[in-house]
Every structure is written in structure tokens, then in C-alpha cells.
Amino acid sequence: MTSAPSSSTIAAIATGPAAGGVGVIRISGPAALEAARRVVPGLPLFPAPRHAYLASIAGLDDGLVIHFPAPNSYTGEEVVELMPHGSPKLLSMVLQRLCEHPALRLAEPGEFTRRAFVNGRIDLARAEAVADLVAAQSEAGVRSAAAQLAGALSQRIDAAKSRLVPLHADLEACLDFPDEAEGADALVAARLDAVLEDLEALAAQGAVGALARRGAHVVLYGPVNAGKSTLFNALLGTRRALVDPEPGTTRDVLEAIIELQGLQVTLVDTAGLRAGAGRVEALGIEKTREALRGADLALLVVPPDATDLGAWRSEASGEVLVIAAKSDLGRRSEGFPVSAANGQGLSDLKAELARRLGAGKAEAVALASERHRDALRRATEALQRARAALDASTLEVVAGETAVALDALDEITGQDARTELLDAIFQRFCIGK
Ligand SMILES: Nc1nc2c(ncn2[C@@H]2O[C@H](COP(=O)(O)OP(=O)(O)O)[C@@H](O)[C@H]2O)c(=O)[nH]1
Ligand SMILES: [Mg+2]
């Protein structure tokens, strides 16, 4: 169980390690107010809830001090936040003084958010979104994590559960009173199908959302001298990769990050694939194949005279977009025409990449973690087995599989989450969150 109240009081610097205008020290737990008063003697005995008091902090600086009484605080406990100037040294001196209070200790990474979860302020999917939001590197990443924090994923899971719970109850009732179960099968099938449809839609949307969250890998590959590195540079807008008429110029894998319509895209330039390459180039070719395995989208860059694209396509395991490069030298019937030399087709290509990668769909519910995807997959599979059992087996099996699906969905929002799982999740956080 997760609801054991913790009696310790914790404190940490909640703001980043760099200097800033304002810094925040957060204190949470039963002794929060008492501990805060040690460094803020000017704080009233009964501070007004959520009122910003300007007071001397540790005799070093004046800053705002706010008391958030339990349970209406981030953690659900007594919380006090101190906001002096954002000097890392000043903040650590204040924190040190606070920690002289015997009931207070330093917070562990993610401990504030973990307490918010344990105290029922937020469910697990939303708690996990806090870490993603703090770490987000792109606009799409921020929007996606913020949507999850606001409950977008939790609502979808709760909606599925709210249909499965009564279905499960009805199935159990049929088992207890078989006489009244006559004709129940047809309805059960429709109800199972409806939830399955929901979960399958969530999985499809979740993949797009996950890309928004973590960013996409786009790998340029193809024959030597096709113009991969030139295109890579053109997409970046800088001359990052070496370009030369000599075949085999690129031997290593080069990566650079661009943002397409808010989506973070890691562009990967690779060594051209060819037989009979020298030793170092062959190592590069091996790296090309490795990069292709990790690609969300592979761009097969080919010159106007390239033939037999089938063999090239099969080098990539996932989605492939053919780029008809050097379109200024001649057009080919197949592929997206681009000339990195004169810039033709470049902005169309960027728009096409954004479209294929689902940019602009950051609000799509994200199945950001492997944990979420795995739990959803298990729930879906259990319901598929329940559906099959309806025709081929007994209602006991249908009810049993429905219960398995419910348990899997519960894992996402964290009902009955085990301590080891919580440890693993909250270790990803930084201190003060
Ligand atoms: N005319 C023309 N030449 C290009 C274009 N892109 C690349 N090249 C030339 O093709 C040669 C090979 O280019 P590079 O980018 O190094 O090819 P890579 O081996 O596929 O990386 C270089 O001499 C480039 O200047 C293009 O769009 N038009
Ligand atoms: Mg190259």
C-alpha cells in the first residue's frame, strides 16, 4: 500500500543550480512551519494561508515566505516556501540553517512529488509527468507533459476503467446467478469491443504523443555521394558535415538537433552504403545500419540516376521517405524532389517531415514511458482473450481476463503501486521536485 503517512519533514532547494532573480526553498511535513520560523523569526504565529509575507530570511536577505497549510498544498502536507534572491550559495546557507532543526532532513530526488502521490493529490501518471515537464527540451515536449500533468492520460484510463468495472461486476453476477445470465453474451461482446476500440485508439495516439515527448530520430542514408551531407547541412542551416565530390567522405555518424513546428528532431547523417569500402569506412557503414535501427523515420537520399530502390529501402526496418536529391541536375519519377544546392523543395521537405512525425499533435495523449505502453498492451491482450473466450470458453474465463485488464490499467495510474516501482519512478526526478 502507498498511503502510509510520513512523519518526517523534508526541505530542498526547488529551483535550478544556476544563479537567478529568485530562488525557492521548499519545506514539507508536520514541522514545516516550526522549522521555517527558525530562519524567518518575523513570520506571524498563525500566518494567513497562501499569503506572501515579506520577511528577513536567515538574517541574510529579505524575501517572500508563503505557508500552504495541509491538505491544500503541493504535497498535501504542511508546506512553507522561502523565496530569497536566487544565489545558489545563499540558498544553500539558508538550507543548512534549516537543517539544524532536529525534525528536518534533506529531501530525496522526487520526494515532494512522491508525497503528493502518496497523499492522493495526484495519481501516478500525473506524478510522472512532473519529471517529464521539468526535463522537457522542446515546445512539443512541454505541451505533451503538461497535458499529462493536467490528467489527459489519467482521464482516458479512468474512462476505460469506468466501463470495465461494471462489466466485470455483471459478469460476476452472471456466474453467481447463472439462471439470469441468459442472453448476456451478446451485450458483453459489444461492451468488450467498445473498450477494446478505446484502448487501441489510445495506443495509436500514444505513439504519436510519445514522439512529441522524447523527440524524433530522422536518419539520412543512401548511396555514397547522393548528397546526404549537403542535405543534412541545408536542413540545419549550417555547414556541420564535410561535403566533397570524393565518395566516402562521411565515415562517422553525425547528429544535430533541429526543431520542426515545435517538435524536437535529431537529424542523423551517415556514411553512404557501398560494397568494397576500406576498413574505416566499413566501420562507418556498420554505424549507419545501427542508426537506421533506431530511426523513427529514415530518409533514403538518392541521386537522379539511382536505380533499384527496393534493395535500398529494405536496409531500413521502419518508415522510409525517398528523397530525390540534386533535383537541379535532373528529376526522377519517384521520391521527394529536393535540391540542397539551390534550396528548392527544402521547406516543403521540412513540412513533410513535420507531418509524418506528427508535429503539432503534442496534445495527443502520450504513452511516454515503456511502463505505460506495456501496461496498456497487457490490458488490450487480456480483453482480446476475454473476447475470444466469449465464443469458445466459459464466462469464468471472460470475467477472469476482464479482471486482468483492470489490474493492468490500474498500474498506469498507480493504484496499489509497489514500493520498488515508486522508487524506480521517482529516482528520475531531480532534488526539490
Ligand atoms: N548539383 C548539386 N550537387 C549537389 C547537391 N547536393 C550535393 N551535391 C554535390 O554532390 C557531392 C556529394 O555531396 P555529399 O553531400 O558529400 O554527398 P554524401 O556522400 O551523400 O554525403 C558534392 O560534390 C556536393 O557538392 C545538389 O542538390 N545539387
Ligand atoms: Mg556524406
**61-97 pLDDT tens trace:** 999 999 999 999 999 999 999 999 999 999 999 999 9
Which residues touch 260 (CB under 8 Å, ≥6 apart)? 350, 353, 354, 357, 359
**Which of 230, 252, 349 gets mutated to test ligand 1 (max ligand atoms within 8 A of its CB)?**
230
Closest approach atom of ligand 1 to CA 232: 15
Q: How far is the CA of 260 from the centre of ligand 1 (A)?
A: 24
Phi then psi dihedrals of residue 123, to 5 deg:
-85, 180
pTM: 0.76
What is the chain's pLDDT, residue by residue, as a tens digit (433 residues)?
344 445 799 999 999 889 999 999 999 999 999 999 999 999 999 999 999 999 999 999 999 999 999 999 999 999 999 999 999 999 999 999 999 999 999 999 999 999 999 999 999 999 999 988 988 888 888 888 898 999 989 999 999 999 999 999 888 888 887 776 666 666 899 999 999 999 999 998 888 788 888 889 999 999 999 999 999 999 998 888 888 888 888 888 899 999 998 888 999 999 888 887 788 888 888 899 999 999 999 999 999 888 888 889 999 988 999 999 999 998 877 899 999 999 999 999 999 999 998 876 656 777 878 889 999 999 999 999 999 998 888 889 999 999 999 999 999 998 777 787 788 888 888 888 8
State the pLDDT at residue 116: 95
Nearest CA-CA partner of 414 in 188, 124, 210? 124
Strand partners, 217: 266
The ligand placed nearest to the CA atom of residue 245 is: 1
State the pLDDT at residue 350: 95
Architecture of domain 9-122: 2-Layer Sandwich (3.30)
Q: How far is the CA of 296 from the centre of ligand 1 (A)?
A: 24
- Single-letter residue type at 262: G
Q: Report domain 146-212+365-421's class.
A: mainly alpha
State the pLDDT at residue 391: 86
Helix/strand/coil for 264: strand
Let me know: does 229 contact 250? Beta carbons within 8 Å.
Answer: yes
State the pLDDT at residue 421: 77
Q: How far is the CA of 244 from the centre of ligand 1 (A)?
A: 7
CA gyration radius for the chain?
28
The ligand placed nearest to the CA atom of residue 224 is: 1
Phi then psi dihedrals of residue 185, to 5 deg:
-55, -45
Q: How far is the CA of 226 from the centre of ligand 1 (A)?
A: 6
Q: How far is the CA of 326 from the centre of ligand 2 (A)?
A: 14
Let me know: does 28 contact 9? Beta carbons within 8 Å.
Answer: yes
* Closest CA to ligand 1's atom 23: 245
* Closest CA to ligand 1's atom 6: 227
State the pLDDT at residue 240: 81
Burial (CB < 10 A; 0-12, 13-18, 19+), residue 114, is buried
Distance (Å, whole) CA 414 – CA 119: 12
Q: CB under 8 Å, gap of 24 or more: what pairs does 386-394 form?
A: 386/192, 387/189, 387/192, 387/193, 387/196, 390/185, 390/188, 390/189, 390/192
- Single-letter residue type at 49: P
**235-253 pLDDT tens trace:** 998 888 888 888 888 888 8
Same CATH topology for 9-122 and 215-356: the answer is no
Architecture of domain 215-356: 3-Layer(aba) Sandwich (3.40)
Alpha helices in 240-369 (DSSP H): 279-293, 309-313, 346-356
Distance (Å, whole) CA 45 – CA 33: 9
The ligand placed nearest to the CA atom of residue 330 is: 1
**Pocket of ligand 1 from Cβ distances under 6 Å:** 224-230, 243-245, 249-250, 272, 325-326, 328-329, 339-341
Domain ranges across the chain:
9-122, 146-212+365-421, 215-356
Q: How far is the CA of 294 from the centre of ligand 1 (A)?
A: 25
Distance (Å, whole) CA 271 – CA 110: 42
- Single-letter residue type at 15: T
Distance (Å, whole) CA 285 – CA 287: 5
**Which of 221, 228, 243 gets mutated to test ligand 1 (max ligand atoms within 8 A of its CB)?**
243
Which residues touch 226 (CB under 8 Å, ≥6 apart)? 272, 301, 302, 303, 306, 325, 326
State the pLDDT at residue 362: 56
